[in-house]
Structure 1
Amino acid sequence: MGVKVSVVMPVSNPGLTNDAFGASVRSVLEQSLPPEEYEIVFADDGSTDGTRRRLDAIAAQRSNVRVLHLDRSESPVRGRNVGLSVARGEYVYLLNQYDRLEPDALQRMYGVAAGEGADIVVGRLADGGPPQPAFARTRGRADIVRDHLLGLSTGHKLISRELVEAAQLRFPDRPLSEQAFATRAYLSARAIAVVADRICCHLGPADDECLDPEALFEGINGVFDVVEALTAPGTRRERVLAHWYRTLGLRRLGGGRFLASSADERALLFSFLRRLTLDRVPESLDVHLPVHLRARAALLRQDRPEALLELAEASRGTRLSAELRDVRWDDGVLALDLGVEILQPDGGPMWLREEDGRLLWSPPAHIPGLLPQEMTDVTDAVRRARVEVFLREARTGVTYALPAVSAVGRAAVGGRVRVWATAQTTIDVASAALGSPLAAGLWEVHVRMRGVRPGRARVFPPDVATNCAGTLVGEPPRLVVPCWSERDEFGVCVEPRSFAESVALVSSRTTVARQEGHVFVVMPVPYVPPSGGPAAELMLREQDGRGRSMIVPALVEPGVPGRVAGQLVARVPLSRIGGEECLGPGSWRAALRIDQKDVELRFGLTVGRGGRVAVRPAGSPSAPPLLRRVAVRVLGDGGAVRLARAVRGSRV
């Protein structure tokens, strides 16, 4: 039987001790396909760090490994193209030197390719970002526009060698070569399949292709050339062009990087993107853009760089807010109720205008003649708005989408309309990982909103008590704990490593209650074993001053698993002037000591001169009442609330 798959990997000075490169090499050597059914082609770009000898040694031991010794080019393009030329497999898969394949990736993708007769198979990728819409479900026949394949613009695809030769697929030696290659491959393929039910490849760090404006102009023109050569005039061509115009061009005209660049850099970028817009982008494309990018395109055509800068400055800080309204356990499944809204830079809601039953967008800065009214109409975008929720493993970056039901709410006030969304989702630890159990670890909860202005955010709890009771789930039983990060971001921990860690994960919800001569520190305990919690002590260390520390016993009170969290209560002596055995004025760090092992907690205590005690996030300074009054004056109520969240704590 011939070679089914050729894996082509350009290599350039990864370092002999680089763990990521070693993991990448092992992942291709240990595929479930028999060695005689696949080959690995390493295209070494003149490495000088000993990598050549290492690869040659592997090739000497493995008959399915070849090493191409290339002259130094400092670009993966030549290695990819030479590898494509010499590949003998029925299909080719392109891999970067820090990527890692799952053990059965090639076998799974090849099986789909053979079964579906596909020219291209796109296997699920994990890159630490939100799940790509293309991987919503497995498809035997995918459309590049409808199924969002253009968002997957790298070479990580199983491509038939027949298509490679028929379409003369090569990476052009110019900027944005991957985007041009992927576009040509997609538009030339007769059938494209998507494998969404299992991760096939974990992507390593992406090369940051820092393009100057002239190189960007050249690269986008090259991608546009491919689109226009392989599509007929019409809506499909416009939607493909609009995708690249939006992602490669217009997005660079806003945000922190744009505003931080020099005036000369901004002027040059504006000049080249204006030229591109006038030469290659008809106004009919604008209907396929989000409304805030329509405004940027309009200012390019109108030759108004100062207005574009004003718009960028006024938009800076516009963001998505996601609030956890409720969390509860329902027969071993965690149910979340979320509120999601776009906020303006000042923290207030984004308002829309309403005229004749239509919703119209208003720019954050007053710019006369920006857009005709019909181009500000976002009625349909609001109607189609939806919230997507996903989990991200904090250590590996692996992400999984969660089932979510969302709805759009609106309220009209004097000709203006406030729009928000709600979403209900569930976390079933037994099946959230594409039908398999979630791995042990800390899983962050993220949301993404599509609609008027797409955005992404972490989930924050409201300024009220929120349920953090854990429970045992599955068989064998595994402890699952709703928890919060140091920045108060919501997440879920599967199988905390210890009782102390489970308490630390929710310790930002600590409160204090003062009695004469003492303060009671009350920490939630997500789960108390039936045998009762272990003996525990609260350790407090002074952050400044004399660096004193004190240890007090803590009492663990059980709650109701899955319903009510338990409590860990420590009675701490308090003195207004301090002392060796008392909590005195200053800032104190907190740790939990169990079996002579200390675990840092996610809160600290601040004691004022009058004996007032405040709980604050770990590592944050206390916020005296005066700061609150100043914040209200300077920032308004919304700004003061945000500041209070940063230093939130209970005071007694």
Structure 2
Amino acid sequence: MPIKVSVVIPVYNPGSYIEDCIASLLRQSLPGDEYEAIFVDDGSTDETPERLDRLAAEHPHMHVIHQEGSGWSGKPRNVGMAAAKGEFIQFVDNDDWLGDEALERMYDYGVEHNADVIVGKMVGKGRPVPRELFRKNRPHASVENAPLIDSLTPHKMFRKAFLDKYDLRYMEGRRRLEDHVFVTEAYLRAENVSVLSDYLCYYHVKREDASNAGFQRFEPVGYFKNLREALDVVEELTEPGPLRDRLFRRWLRNEMVERMRGQRLLKLPADYRRELFDEIHKVVVERFGPGVAAGLQTTQRIVADLIAAGRLADLEEFARWESGIKASGVLENLGWQSGRLTIGFTAEYKSGGEPVTFRADGEKDLLVPPLPRTSLDAIARLGADTSAPLAKSKVDVVVRERVTAAEFFQPVEFTREKLAVKGRPGYFRHVLRATARIDPLSAANGVGLDAGIWDVFVRITACGWTKDTRLGSVRGEEAGRERRAAVVGSPAHLVLPYWTDPHGNLSLDVDGHTDRIPYEFAALTPADVTVATDPDRLTVALPLHVQGESEATLKLTNVATGRSTRVSAALTARVTGEAELSAALPLGEPAGGQWQLELILPPSGAGEPVALPLALDVPASGGAVVRHLAAVAADLAAKDPGRRRPASRRAGLTFLRRAAGRLRRALKK
């Protein structure tokens, strides 16, 4: 069987971190005879070489190459490429790991679209990864029509024949940004690049000891010498003009401007800060024409102009102000509509707890940072454009899985509003008023959300800032009234929007990963319970959203004996927005006594039974009466306050009292 994919992993002293990488490779959905993994041990001095030798002995498609240490990742990647037999080559770092179906999905996607490069969706575990690039699938991407240049790490799949055609190899030796040079040339030479965004392919991990090479403080002169080599590739393969300027802008923004902003700048020691600033200043002056900085957002442009002018002190003042800018959001309403969770909210930037304000100047809206006059004068003399392009501001809603950190954009509709600032004529707040809709069955780029806890974030982009905030801790009075669990899809899934402890932010529990569902039904009152004309049927209104009808199971447990039985139940949507639970009562089975009611919800009846605050009284004479647990426990205590009871009756009363106690605690919570 021809090998479809060769996975190349450079290895140097990963310790236990390599275990996740190995496990993910062994879990791949591709058959073992259709892919291979090539670990290139670059002179490791820990126990890794022996670990890899054992792995290769146990698994024929796992290979190990040992070599003397080269000092960086370039040479081991090249050695792995030379040994690779696959149609495609996937690069993985030894402390990262792959999604279980990553190789199969990326290979099939690349073959389908005849791609030379396949970029799989990445998630950052403690480190940043591109976001906008993975907003959607992009089967035919290029540097002209997609933000590919935002993703320059090597963790991609490349057609081996394409790499050989252009002799694409990594620069070797102890150096920085060799992946920028390699990936940039690949993008610019590829016939097609395909971006797969509907499956989480690559987990990019920051080690707990922060010993990843990319997190080590670098020597500025060498770093920016290597950066110039990436710029050389762009100059060689593009013509002067807007495209080259846009590509250069990536390095100006990410590697220079962002290092000179906010706390990232202010946390640096003063001497290192000056050394870094001087090297960045040289590159900006030597390599970038006016069209590069011109495409930056307002705050980025101010920083770039201050760098070009050599004004570090003014840059530090601007950084002190910027470091206080935060996104904020107010949840206005929340509810389910046709299986989708609808979220209404407002969002804006704040500084020091107060809204960021802007000033109207004719047709322009101006950003007015509260800086010393000397700094403002310096910015003005530079000719920096402080106009705020508020018409381009936007707000997104992102759901992020708590364990994997996978995140997905949700559909949002929004308007931009200018709210006057009292006592300051001409000044206004910029508020985004939005409605987002989360469909649990398609929220992960067209597929359903996996089981787990998904945190809800608001992301504001304006004036050169992109900042996230949690949603829910600040909310209006209406926001919680329609909050309830929902049963959606077929097979059914249980989705619970809830407020986190202790901050009260909005999260989604998909398929019962918390113990919160019982509290959703604790507020049932006797008025919620109705018994139909047929005394053998139970009907209860539940605070639950369903579409049409869904199946459930009702568990009945005898209070005295502990014996239980289960009956099929139906959940049906009501016009009031609640769900109606309906079940035929097998009165021949629970004859006599009192029975506690528990509901077993989807998925597939696998969840734990959820206690309802209801008890079923089945008189020996026939029929049935449904009563509230608190009333049952109170009646029992009143009728028999001090007498010693038989063991079975004592157990039954204890059962009911404890259930009533749980009810009271749930209501308080």
Cα 1:374–1:336 shift into 2, 3 Å: farther
The 5-angstrom pairing of residues 615-626 of structure 1 reads none
For 2:237 and 2:405, the matched residues in 1 are separated by 36
Within the candidate set 368, 371, 378, 1:365 is matched to: 371
Cα 1:181–1:309 shift into 2, 3 Å: same
Within the candidate set 461, 466, 470, 1:458 is matched to: 470
The 5-angstrom pairing of residues 223-622 of structure 1 reads 223-344=230-351, 346-366=352-372, 367=375, 368-371=377-380, 375-376=384-385, 378=387, 381-412=389-420, 414-452=425-463, 453-462=465-474, 464-465=476-477, 466-467=479-480, 468-485=483-500, 486-497=502-513, 499=515, 503=519
For 2:72 and 2:26, the matched residues in 1 are separated by 24
- Which stretch shifts more, 294-303 or 53-62? 53-62
Amino acid at match of 2:160: R
Amino acid at match of 1:180: V
For 1:527 and 1:356, the matched residues in 2 are separated by 52
Give the TM-score, by structure 2 length.
0.72
* Corresponding residue for residue 8 of structure 1: 8
1:384 CA drift (Å): 2.1
* Corresponding residue for residue 588 of structure 1: none
* Corresponding residue for residue 193 of structure 1: 194
8 A contact 1:122–1:193 mirrored in 2? yes
8 A contact 1:482–1:491 mirrored in 2? yes
Cα 1:143–1:51 shift into 2, 3 Å: same
Could you report, residue by residue, the CA deviation over 1:419-445 in whole angstroms, capped at 9, with x for unpaired residues? 121221112222323333322322101
For 1:11 and 1:598, the matched residues in 2 are separated by 54
1:257 CA drift (Å): 3.4
Residue 124, structure 1, aligned to residue 132, structure 2? no
1:348 CA drift (Å): 1.9
* Corresponding residue for residue 109 of structure 1: 106
Cα 1:285–1:598 shift into 2, 3 Å: farther
Amino acid at match of 1:181: F
Amino acid at match of 1:422: R
- Which stretch shifts more, 296-305 or 208-217? 208-217
Could you report, residue by residue, the CA deviation over 1:433-490 in whole angstroms, capped at 9, with x for unpaired residues? 3333322322101122223232222213435443143333334544432222323322
For 1:252 and 1:533, the matched residues in 2 are separated by 63
Amino acid at match of 2:405: G
For 2:426 and 2:371, the matched residues in 1 are separated by 19
8 A contact 2:198–2:447 mirrored in 1? no
The 5-angstrom pairing of residues 44-59 of structure 1 reads 44-59=41-56
For 2:457 and 2:14, the matched residues in 1 are separated by 33
Could you report, residue by residue, the CA deviation over 1:312-355 in whole angstroms, capped at 9, with x for unpaired residues? 112221111122121112133211012111112x2222222222
Within the candidate set 209, 224, 245, 1:217 is matched to: 224
Unaligned runs of 5+ in 1: 508-524, 535-559, 571-592, 605-614, 616-652
* Corresponding residue for residue 21 of structure 1: 18
* Corresponding residue for residue 577 of structure 1: none
1:303 CA drift (Å): 2.0
1:246 CA drift (Å): 0.6
Cα 1:67–1:532 shift into 2, 3 Å: closer
8 A contact 2:198–2:444 mirrored in 1? no
8 A contact 1:123–1:157 mirrored in 2? yes
Give the TM-score, by structure 1 length.
0.74
Aligned residues: 534
Query: What secondary structure is seen at the aligned counterpart in 1 of 2:118?
Result: strand
Amino acid at match of 1:148: P
8 A contact 2:333–2:476 mirrored in 1? no
For 1:260 and 1:203, the matched residues in 2 are separated by 25
Q: CA RMSD in A?
A: 3.6
8 A contact 1:471–1:562 mirrored in 2? no
8 A contact 2:181–2:230 mirrored in 1? yes
* Corresponding residue for residue 69 of structure 1: 66
* Corresponding residue for residue 93 of structure 1: 90
8 A contact 1:405–1:424 mirrored in 2? yes
Computing the radius of gyration from Cα coordinates, the structure with the larger value is 2
8 A contact 1:471–1:561 mirrored in 2? no
8 A contact 2:89–2:158 mirrored in 1? yes
Query: What secondary structure is seen at the aligned counterpart in 2 of 1:256?
Result: helix
Could you report, residue by residue, the CA deviation over 1:589-634 in whole angstroms, capped at 9, with x for unpaired residues? xxxx9789999x9999xxxxxxxxxx9xxxxxxxxxxxxxxxxxxx
For 1:243 and 1:166, the matched residues in 2 are separated by 27
Unaligned runs of 5+ in 2: 524-541, 546-551, 558-575, 580-611, 614-627, 631-656
Identity, % of aligned pairs? 29
8 A contact 1:12–1:74 mirrored in 2? no
Cα 1:498–1:200 shift into 2, 3 Å: closer
8 A contact 2:263–2:320 mirrored in 1? no
8 A contact 1:461–1:489 mirrored in 2? yes
* Corresponding residue for residue 154 of structure 2: 155
For 1:134 and 1:309, the matched residues in 2 are separated by 31
1:287 CA drift (Å): 1.4
